[in-house]
């Protein structure tokens, strides 16, 4: 009978509160911009115009969004199984290695229609494999997945440097990059696809993989909420002892969830390696794996929320780059600070404003009830 205190309706919980959090972050960012002597309103305008105001900006925004969707989904699905996968960065890195190796091996033999699924499979398999080791250690040895996945990020980085510098580097050059893939091993850019149907847009890195990202969203949603495997996965995440009672095997589910999570993160490599760079190189993950944590938190671990949060971070990345370019006093570091503030307010401090909003909502309810009572009287 312990009736809960006021429960917030969904429009406040998943609509208003994130908006408030972003506004708080922007407010603090504005103060910082003010402190270095620039006009915050103008800076915001440049940012938004830079991200959404013209074709090229939109293309870049959506290209970043693609990566965030993959890493956000990766964190979300693990979260539903009660796991906190912060190894998205490493899984994306190794996933990219898988895509690259597959292309380097087969791009001169197979046509695009076969290389496309091969790239997806390779990214998924390598990402999943990289997540499987921490998952196994968690399930069978009790090593906490938060610790092991973050360690695996470092191992992934070291492995990649070794491979790029010593093994996969194209002979006769200084920069640690592989040779470029043949045309069949390259995803078509969106501007190429649109040109094919007669629409001309500015070239951007946005490519076919965004379609795959959206397919993954639907797939993750269906898996989590519409299949018996997702049912057992959520059961383990919410209440392991009930899941055992129900005949689920938590160890298997931990491993399955982490593998799916790693596969999703691995698709960052699909976008970056097969879609944008068309060669293997270093540091293409650029922190997307870590940002995925904030994306997932902000999106409440739901695919729709993940898409929306990914869009927001896409805007921040692209708009921020534009801002640093347009206003010389606002440096790249300051842009990173603004991004960091948004992550801070919508991730780590996501529930900070909840008590205030709850109190305001309760007051509103009371006021409304009083008004109705007065009206009736």
- Put residue 179 in one of left, alpha, beta given phi > 0 → left and psi -120 to 50 → alpha: beta
Which CB sits closer to another protein, 337 or 358?
Answer: 358
Are the beta carbons of 233 and 257 closer than 8 angstroms? Answer: yes
Which CB sits closer to another protein, 141 or 228?
Answer: 228
Q: How far is the CB of 359 from another protein (least distance, A)?
A: 13
Which tokens hold the place of 372?
A: 């109705």
**373 near another protein, rule: CB under 8 A:** no
278-317 mask for another protein (x: CB under 8 A)? Answer: ----------------------------------------
Q: How far is the CB of 367 from another protein (least distance, A)?
A: 13
Taking the alpha carbons at both ends of the chain, their separation in whole angstroms is 31
Torsion of CA 184, 189, 190, 192, to 10 degrees: -80
Which CB sits closer to another protein, 227 or 329?
Answer: 227
Q: Which of residues 151-210 bind another protein (CB under 8 A)?
A: none
Q: Which of 6, 34, 147, 165 binds another protein (CB under 8 A)?
A: 6
Per-residue CA distances from 31 to 26, 59, 119 (Å): 9, 30, 45
**1 near another protein, rule: CB under 8 A:** yes
Q: How far is the CB of 303 from another protein (least distance, A)?
A: 16
Q: How far is the CB of 86 from another protein (least distance, A)?
A: 23
Which CB sits closer to another protein, 242 or 364?
Answer: 242
Q: Which of residues 227-256 bind another protein (CB under 8 A)?
A: 227-228, 231-232, 234-235, 238-239, 241-247, 249
**272 near another protein, rule: CB under 8 A:** no
Return d(Cα 258, Cα 256) in angstroms, integer.
6
Which CB sits closer to another protein, 144 or 362?
Answer: 362
Stretch that binds another protein, among 225-233, 270-278, 330-338, 351-359 (CB under 8 A): 225-233
**42 near another protein, rule: CB under 8 A:** no
Which residues here bind another protein, judged by CB under 8 A? 1-7, 222, 226-228, 231-232, 234-235, 238-239, 241-247, 249
């Amino acid at each position: 009978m312990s009736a809960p205190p006021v429960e917030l309706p969904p429009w406040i919980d998943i609509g208003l509160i994130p908006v408030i959090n972003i506004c708080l972050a922007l407010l603090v960012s504005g103060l910082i911009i003010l402190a270095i002597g620039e006009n915050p309103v103008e800076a915001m305008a440049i940012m938004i115009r830079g991200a959404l105001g013209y074709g090229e900006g939109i293309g870049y925004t959506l290209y970043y969004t693609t990566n965030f969707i993959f890493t956000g989904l990766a964190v979300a699905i693990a979260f539903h199984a009660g796991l906190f996968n912060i190894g998205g960065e490493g899984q994306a890195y190794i996933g990219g290695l898988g895509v690259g190796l597959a292309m380097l091996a087969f791009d001169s033999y197979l046509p695009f229609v076969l290389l496309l699924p091969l790239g997806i499979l390779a990214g998924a398999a390598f990402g999943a494999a990289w997540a499987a080791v921490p998952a196994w250690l968690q399930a069978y040895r009790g090593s906490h997945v938060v610790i092991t996945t973050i360690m695996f990020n470092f191992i992934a980085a070291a492995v990649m440097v070794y491979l790029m510098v010593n093994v996969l580097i194209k002979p006769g050059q200084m920069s640690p990059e592989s040779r470029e893939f043949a045309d069949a091993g390259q995803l078509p850019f969106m501007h190429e696809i649109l040109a094919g149907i007669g629409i001309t847009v500015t070239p951007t890195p946005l490519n076919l993989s965004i379609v795959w990202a959206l397919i993954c969203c639907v797939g993750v949603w269906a898996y989590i909420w519409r299949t018996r495997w997702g049912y057992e996965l959520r059961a383990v995440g919410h209440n392991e002892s009930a899941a055992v009672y129900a005949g689920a095997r938590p160890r298997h589910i931990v491993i399955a969830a982490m593998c799916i999570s790693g596969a999703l993160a691995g698709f960052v490599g699909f976008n970056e390696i097969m879609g944008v760079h068309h060669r293997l190189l270093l540091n293409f993950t650029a922190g997307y794996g870590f940002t995925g944590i904030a994306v997932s938190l902000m999106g409440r671990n739901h695919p729709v929320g993940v898409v929306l949060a990914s869009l927001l971070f896409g805007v921040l990345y692209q708009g921020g780059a534009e801002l640093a370019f347009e206003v010389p006093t606002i440096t790249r570091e300051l842009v990173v600070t603004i991004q960091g503030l948004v992550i801070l307010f919508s991730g780590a401090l996501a529930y900070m404003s909840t008590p205030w909003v709850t109190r305001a909502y309760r007051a509103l309810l009371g006021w409304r009830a009083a008004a109705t009572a007065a009206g009736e009287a």
